[in-house]
Amino acid sequence: MKGDIRDASLAGAGRKRIEWADRDMPVLGVIRERFEREKPLRGLRVSACLHITAETANLARTLQAGGADLVLCASNPLSTQDDVAAALTLEYGIPVFAIRGEDRDTYYAHIRAAIDHGPRITMDDGADLVSEILKNRPEMHKQILGSMEETTTGVIRLRAMEAQGVLRFPILAVNDADTKHLFDNRYGTGQSTVDGIIRASDILFAGKTVVVAGYGWCGRGFAMRARGMGANVVVTEVDPIRALEAAMDGFRVMAIADAAPIGDLFCTLTGDIHVIRAEHFARMKDGALVANSGHFNVEIDIDALEAAAREVRRAVRPCVDEYRMPDGRRIYLLAEGRLVNLAAAEGHPACVMDMSFSVQALTSEYAVRNGGKLEPRVHKVPREIDEWVARLKLKTMGIAIDELTAEQREYLASWEAGT
């Protein structure tokens, strides 16, 4: 068997989970049917470094239907669903290199195994695959037609590579498509972050003071949902425009240092480093919960928390570590500071990943069709892909919208009429 998974006997359970998610991914289903007929990815080797979840499995099945020869590895050591990895490898013939809880060395060994597949197309959620290729397998750049990037942090890293002149092949910024970040980051992260925090801690949101660090697409989704459950939401930001938006959306906005002593729950969603630090832990209440739903485990300064604590009790519940401070206060870190929605829950619901992964599939097809013609820089997803996905999603939801009349089209294109 090619691949490296935890337990082959989980394959049956994984298949059920994949099929359940598929029911809520109708747009991807339409693409899969077309891919099956047209085989736009025929014979192409694809390596994808994504969260190994049921939704990703349905993307993988779609690429396989299109003729791709595909392998997968994890984009986060704690987000892998081992049953899904087993089902993909054994039941669908798509090798997966991912084991939930794998250590750092195994995580990178799995990324290297995916690169050894010799991809012409790559997919990333955080740019780990591309970084590894550029650092350690630079000769491979000639064969890569394009690389899709799924998340905000990855796009930021890839733009940094472009700015430094080290990017050697074209990147398609899937995250920046409207049908991706406006829905996945906002409604997907919003709901699944609440889900992960509740599954880990079983807290009641109502009446709690919830501090949301970052008011980007993910942060506003989580802030909105936490408020909907009755929490008093405080937002912290560094961008004055987003801080103003949060204030006018009705949230209390303040510096993290001022929020530290009043928060019952803190959640970072910034893509930034050390947003919550030693000086903030020093002021937190006894029993404060701290979580992260941004991409990496760097938003909370975990080393500082370890250093400040008198005692650490691991796994007082699954996904909860207790840090007892010298003055007796307890601070609870959820999911080791990794994405709480994926580590403690199941990630985004399939309904929203339907759009993100439809964009992934169609953008891969676009990269293949334009093979060799795209420059080695970060490209936008073509607008037609976004509009096609949005229209079909609306249709599957039973929603009809208006079309411009000829008169309206003419009016909106003219500058003379109107006053």
Ligand X SMILES: NC(=O)c1ccc[n+]([C@@H]2O[C@H](COP(=O)([O-])OP(=O)(O)OC[C@H]3O[C@@H](n4cnc5c(N)ncnc54)[C@H](O)[C@@H]3O)[C@@H](O)[C@H]2O)c1
Q: Do the beta carbons of residue 352 and residue 184 sit within 8 Å?
A: yes
Q: Is 189 in the site for ligand X (CB under 6 A)?
A: yes
* Residue closest to ligand X when measured from CB atoms: 216
Task: Determine the Cα–Cα distance for residues 389 and 407; give it in Å rounded to an integer.
Answer: 27
Smallest separation, CB 293 to ligand X (Å): 4
Tell how strand 320-324 and strand 330-334 pair up.
antiparallel
Minimum Å gap between C-beta 257 and ligand X is: 11
How many whole angstroms separate alpha carbon 101 and alpha carbon 348?
19
Considering the complex, state which of residue 272 and residue 322 has its C-beta at the smaller distance from ligand X. 272
187 is an interface residue for ligand X by CB under 6 A = no
Of the candidate residues 95, 219, 263, 337, the single one contacting ligand X (CB under 6 A): 219
Q: How far is CA 146 from CA 137, 247, 373, in A?
A: 16, 40, 10
Residue 128 CB partners (closer than 8 Å, separation 6+):
49, 75, 111
Q: Mask 5-34, x = binds ligand X (CB under 6 A)?
A: ------------------------------
C-alpha 316, offset from chain centre = 27
Q: How far is the CB of 274 from ligand X (least distance, A)?
A: 8
For residue 95, give the H/E element and its range: none
Helix, strand or coil for residue 121?
A: strand
- Of 339, 343, 352, 390, which one interacts with ligand X (CB under 6 A)? 339
For ligand X, give the closer residue by CB, 89 or 175. 175
Residues 123-182 that bind ligand X (CB under 6 A): 151-153, 181
Is 39 one of the binding residues for ligand X (CB under 6 A)?
no
Q: Which is nearer to ligand X, 92 or 215 (CB)?
A: 215
Pick the binder of ligand X from 294, 350, 386, 392 (CB under 6 A): 294
| Least gap, CB of 234 to ligand X (angstroms) | 12
The smaller minimum CB distance to ligand X, of residues 69 and 354, is found at 354
Name which of residues 319 to 338 contact ligand X (CB under 6 A): none
In 214-269, which residue ranges form alpha helices assigned H by DSSP?
217-228, 240-248, 256-259
Sheet holding 252-253, edge to edge: 252-253, 232-236, 209-213, 265-268, 288-292, 330-334, 320-324, 311-317
Would you tell me which residues interact with ligand X (CB under 6 A)?
A: 151-153, 181, 185, 189, 213-219, 236-239, 242, 269-272, 275, 293-295, 339, 341-342
